[in-house]
Amino acid sequence: MFFISPTKGRLSFKQVFRDIISFVNEYPEDNYKLIVGTDSQLRNDVCYVTAVVILREGKGGRFYYIKEREKGKISLKQRIFLETARSLEVASLLASEFTTIGVTDLNIEIHLDVGEKGKTKDIIREVVGMVTGSGFGARIKPDSYGATKVADKFTK
């Protein structure tokens, strides 16, 4: 699994994790948000982009993304569930890595590409339940910028 950093290029998951730690350690007294969000675009295949965003609240941040393609066409509902599953996978890996260094109180937010308006409103409860049932915070539109802005930008 390789991520792309706009400033550092291609990074392994471990390198992404170390870069996040380094970023936080620059100003450990500041507040941080760790966000994972996935978006997809359907064309001849499905392009999934999962973004990891570390925000130093009020002072900027960094992001990394992984882009994957799958052949075939699937329904919107299936795509949203797969987006959620991809975000959960990455968030779980991050949580596990943080646990190995003794950080257990970090709140990871998962940003979902669903909202009260539009075609996805009927599955909000289901995907939010998947996320919160896995121990992560969930954000939906218009507050899910990790998926709707960062990841979305790289699906095009």
pLDDT tens-digit readout, 27-39: 999 999 999 999 9
Closest CA to 53 of 80, 30, 34: 34
pLDDT at position 58, please? 93
Using only the alpha carbons of the chain, give its radius of gyration.
Answer: 15
pLDDT at position 43, please? 86
What are the beta bridge partners of residue 68?
A: 48
Confidence of residue 73 (pLDDT cuts 50, 70, 90): confident
**Across residues 120-144, what is the average pLDDT?**
97
pLDDT tens-digit readout, 3-53: 999 999 999 999 999 999 999 999 999 999 999 999 999 988 999 999 999
Per-residue tokens: 17: 């994790």
The answer to whether 100 touches 52, Cβ cutoff 8 Å, is no
Residue 119's domain comprises: 2-153
The number of folded domains in the chain is 1
pLDDT at position 101, please? 92
pLDDT tens-digit readout, 81-119: 999 999 999 999 999 999 999 987 778 999 999 999 999
- pTM for the model: 0.96
CA atoms within 13 A on the CB side of 151: 30
Closest CA to 90 of 141, 24, 136: 136
CA distance 111 to 146: 6
